[in-house]
Amino acid sequence: MRALVLAFVLVAAGSPVLAQGFDVSTTFKRWDTNGDGVITPDEWAAAHRPPERFAATDTDKDGKITPEELAASIAKLQG
């Protein structure tokens, strides 16, 4: 069930899904609209992501998401 929900969320968000799983790098680059290497709350919202997921993904609570934090969050969702 979790895999089905994750697949739906990824497709609904327009995120690439590869045979090996979620392509974090491509998605991160698309969501990091100013290219500074982090995703801010404004960029997260612009990507139509739920605000509560930003807080859960920003594990060091510095107000921005790194590629590593996004990858860890996706890995956790994948199971």
Give the span between the Cα atoms of 64 and 41, in whole angstroms.
7
Is 21 in a helix, a strand, or coil? Answer: strand
Counted domains in the chain: 1
* Distance separating alpha carbons of residues 34 and 55, to the nearest angstrom: 20
Q: Quote the crossing angle between the two packed helices 24-31 and 67-78, to the nearest 10°.
A: 130
CATH number of 41's domain = 1.10.238.10
Better-predicted residue by pLDDT, 4 or 53: 53
Domain extent at residue 19: 2-78
Put simply, whether the predicted model's pTM sits higher than 0.75 gets the answer no
Using 50, 70 and 90 to split pLDDT, how confident is the model at 23?
A: confident
> pLDDT tens digits, residue range 1-20?
554 444 444 444 544 443 35
> The tokens of 18 are what?
């590869």
